[in-house]
Amino acid sequence: GLQCHLPVLVLGADASAWEIPSVDSDNQQGVREVVRLLLELGHRRFIGLFADQNALNTLDRQRAFLCELERQGIPETDIWLFLSQDTFHLDPAVGDMLRALLGLPEGRRPTAIVGGGFYLAMAALQVVSEMRLPVPASLSVTGFDDPPSAALTVPPLTTLRQPLKQMGATAITLLWELMQGRTPSELCVKLPIELIVRQTTAPYTSEGG
């Protein structure tokens, strides 16, 4: 077949494993920051809620969640990882497991939910609201991505903001360099993610003090 020698660039994923230039946000750095925030607030029992997909970004977020908690000495028995195929609503089985966990007595139930996406965090907040658990007094919840509606949730969502405009501008610059025949100085440019702290996170306080 015909071969077109056109420059190729991937935006929104790390394609360096395929030797393809790419521009992405630093998913792992973002999740590590949100985990550290929750640890600093005194949380020690965590739910991770992520998309059940093989997308590189999703895998990066899952890995960062598990690795940072392990690095900080949180035992596996205090970490629950749920994967939902539906990224807009929770899979029914995941929703049931979440309700069962959050129905445990205070002192045994998780006190923080790390959402791997904005809509997953919204779905978690809906379940928490159904169970009449006050956020953030009884449970802290965080998301990923910061659309305008993230500031309008009740309470406003603590989340991670990707530098989307900067990613686009960087991709255009990099693509122009490729079109000039230049070799990029780094195969994957990863831009830092900003932690936006709002009102769904607070210090953990047990009923016993």
Q: What pLDDT, in 10s, does the model give residues 49-103?
A: 999 888 888 999 999 999 999 999 999 999 999 999 988 889 999 999 999 999 9
H or E element in which residue 25 lies: strand 22-25
- Which is higher by pLDDT, 192 or 7? 192
Asked if residue 122 belongs to a domain, the reply is yes
Is the per-residue pLDDT at 4 higher than 70?
no
Residues with Cβ within 8 Å of residue 17, at least 6 apart in sequence: none
Is the per-residue pLDDT at 5 higher than 60?
yes
Alpha-carbon distance values, 187 to 20, 29, 121, 178, 184 (Å): 7, 18, 32, 11, 6
Asked if residue 203 belongs to a domain, the reply is no
Asked if residue 127 belongs to a domain, the reply is yes
Asked if residue 184 belongs to a domain, the reply is no
Q: How many CA atoms lie within 13 A of 173 on its CB side?
A: 10
Give CA–CA dist 99/162, Å, rounded. 30
Helix pair angle (27-40, 56-71), 10° resolution? 30
Q: What is the pLDDT of residue 2?
A: 46
Asked if residue 168 belongs to a domain, the reply is no
Is the per-residue pLDDT at 209 higher than 70?
no
Asked if residue 66 belongs to a domain, the reply is yes
Residues with Cβ within 8 Å of residue 181, at least 6 apart in sequence: none
Q: What is the CATH number of the domain that holds 115?
A: 3.40.50.2300
Q: What is the pLDDT of residue 54?
A: 82
Give CA–CA dist 9/168, Å, rounded. 11
- Which is higher by pLDDT, 203 or 3? 203
Q: What total of structural domains would you count in the chain? A: 1
| pLDDT, tens digit (0-9, with 9 covering 90-100), for 135-183 | 999 999 999 999 999 999 999 999 999 999 999 999 999 999 999 999 8
Q: What is the pLDDT of residue 205?
A: 85
Task: For residue 124, give its domain range.
Answer: 26-161
| pLDDT, tens digit (0-9, with 9 covering 90-100), for 103-137 | 999 999 999 999 999 999 999 999 999 999 999 99
Average pLDDT, rounded, for the chain:
93
Residues with Cβ within 8 Å of residue 119, at least 6 apart in sequence: 87, 88, 89
Give CA–CA dist 123/48, Å, rounded. 13
Q: What is the pLDDT of residue 52?
A: 85
Q: What is the pLDDT of residue 207?
A: 57
Is the per-residue pLDDT at 12 higher than 70?
yes
Asked if residue 199 belongs to a domain, the reply is no
Give CA–CA dist 146/158, Å, rounded. 9
Asked if residue 193 belongs to a domain, the reply is no
Give CA–CA dist 86/163, Å, rounded. 25
